[in-house]
């Protein structure tokens, strides 16, 4: 077996606003494994600058060392890269792809056979009020019945106006409404904002305060009129004991799994097992991966036997993405088995 890695810089069609700034490009790294028969498996190391746990010096050196070990005859072991979760995830993807024939068919299910689709939320990026309203109208026109709106970057009253507009036109039965604060509130003011949004039938709010403040988040969970979902809270936790400690301390209503951040599919399934044992719900979200990573994540998600709306479908954000077997129709993600991403 031979291994190599390469890098690709994705360019956003439209700058994407978050509470941490505006994104215009996104770098991704890829691991490609080739066996003696010429079959290749590929996996994406979905690092996100400023957020991923492994966004630190030495990243490419680790990738080079990994490939050298494989080229020297060592068997690749994703679990050896616990401290580099996106590399662990990319290696796991590449192994799965190669094992299943090297056709970017990471998992087989009714989804990859075109028999069923995955319900997904439509993502509303941060912007000025008019821009956000325009995005909402476009998503609803496209058939989405679940929308996630990022908040925390502009004046809260303007964001609240957008939420009111949505609820003024669509009841909870018609449209599920999620919000994502990306840690934009403080422990002191978070409850005030949550109380203001409560009459609008919000399904959940992701990460209302910054990660790492377990006891303050736990207090907020007990007081919040809106169910709380943890996102960034999971990123630095790669030890099973600490993961369970966090879940037992905070007792969130939901956790959100980004395989590129949590260390891949096996690691994410461990999170799911722990969450379900405590009565905590969950869903899967992509993390701005290219179509290569998104395809693998969607295929894995389809095997989890859940009907919950997932946070997938970001591939259309880029001008220079790879071809994709995924397509969205009426707010659902589907798979065209006749399309390969990378030959």
Find out whether 84 and 109 touch, Cβ atoms under 8 Å: no
pLDDT at position 131 is 86
- CB half-sphere exposure, 89, CA atoms < 13 A: 34
Q: Is 151 left (phi over 0), alpha (psi -120 to 50) or beta?
A: beta
317 pLDDT band (50/70/90 cuts)?
A: confident
Give the contacts of 288 (CB within 8 A, at least 6 positions apart).
10, 23, 26, 46, 48, 314, 317
Among positive and negative, which fits the CA dihedral 121, 44, 319, 24? positive
Same domain, 95 and 208: no
Average pLDDT over the chain, rounded to whole? 92
Same domain? For 151 and 208 the reply is: yes
Neighbours of 240 (CB within 10 A): 12
Task: Exactly one of 26, 129, 150, 192 is catalytic; name it.
Answer: 150
Check whether residue 204 and residue 74 sit in a common domain. Answer: no
Which tens digits make up the pLDDT trace of 154-185?
Answer: 789 988 998 998 999 889 889 999 999 989 89
Q: Do the beta carbons of residue 95 and residue 76 sit within 8 Å?
A: yes
Which tokens go with 193?
Answer: 């904002």
- Whether residue 237 sits in one domain with residue 133: yes
Is 104 part of a structural domain of the chain?
A: no
pTM of the model: 0.94
Q: Indicate if 258 belongs to the active site.
A: yes
Residue 87 falls within a domain, yes or no? yes
**Structure-block tokens of residue 281:** 């719900």
Is there a single domain that holds both residue 49 and residue 127?
A: no
Helix, strand, or coil (residue 9): strand
277-294: pLDDT as tens digits = 999 999 999 999 999 999
The residue annotated as part of the active site, out of 26, 139, 148, 258, is 258
Which residue range forms the structural domain that includes residue 328? 118-335
Q: Do 276 and 138 belong together in one domain?
A: yes
pLDDT mean over 288-317: 92
pLDDT in tens, 241-265: 999 999 999 999 999 999 999 999 9
Rounded mean pLDDT, 23-51: 93
The answer to whether residue 240 is domain-embedded is yes
Domain-located, residue 163? yes
With helix as H, strand as E and coil as C, how does 162-217 read?
HHHHHHHHCCCCCCEEEEECCCCCCCCCHHHHHHHHHHHCCCEEECCCCCCCHHHH
Whether 227 and 204 have beta carbons less than 8 Å apart is answered as yes
**Count of domains in the chain?**
2
Are the C-beta atoms of 184 and 151 separated by less than 8 Å? yes
In the predicted model, what is the mean pLDDT of residues 219-232? 97
Is residue 77 annotated as a catalytic residue, yes or no? no
């Amino acid at each position: 077996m031979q291994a190599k890695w390469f890098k690709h810089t994705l360019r956003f069609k439209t700058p994407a606003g978050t509470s941490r700034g505006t994104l215009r490009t996104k770098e991704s790294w890829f691991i490609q494994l080739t066996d003696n028969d010429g079959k290749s498996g590929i996996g994406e190391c979905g690092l996100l600058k400023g957020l991923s746990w492994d966004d630190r010096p030495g990243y490419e050196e680790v990738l080079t060392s990994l490939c050298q070990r494989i080229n020297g005859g060592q068997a690749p072991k994703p679990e050896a890269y616990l401290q580099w979760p996106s590399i662990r995830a990319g290696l796991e993807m590449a192994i799965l792809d190669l094992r299943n024939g090297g056709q970017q068919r990471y998992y087989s299910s009714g989804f990859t056979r075109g028999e069923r689709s995955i319900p997904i939320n439509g993502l509303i990026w941060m912007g000025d009020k008019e821009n956000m309203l325009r995005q909402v109208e476009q998503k609803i026109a496209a058939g989405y019945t679940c929308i996630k709106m990022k908040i925390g970057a502009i004046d809260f009253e303007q964001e609240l106006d957008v939420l009111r507009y949505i609820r003024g036109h669509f009841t909870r039965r018609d449209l599920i409404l999620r919000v994502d604060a990306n840690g934009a509130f403080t422990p002191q003011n978070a409850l005030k904002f949550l109380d203001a949004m409560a009459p609008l039938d919000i399904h959940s709010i992701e990460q209302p305060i910054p990660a790492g403040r377990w006891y303050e988040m736990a207090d907020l969970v007990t007081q919040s009129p809106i169910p709380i979902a943890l996102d960034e809270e999971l990123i630095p936790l790669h030890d099973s004991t600490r993961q369970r400690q966090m879940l037992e301390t905070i007792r969130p209503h939901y956790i959100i799994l980004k395989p590129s951040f949590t260390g891949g599919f096996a690691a994410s399934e461990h999170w799911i097992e722990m969450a379900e044992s405590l009565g905590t719900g969950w869903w899967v979200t992509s993390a701005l991966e290219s179509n290569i990573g998104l395809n693998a994540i969607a295929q894995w998600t389809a095997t989890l036997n859940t009907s919950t709306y997932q946070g997938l479908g970001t591939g259309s954000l880029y001008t220079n993405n790879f071809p994709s077997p995924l397509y969205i129709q009426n707010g659902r993600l589907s798979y065209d088995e006749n399309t390969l991403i990378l030959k």
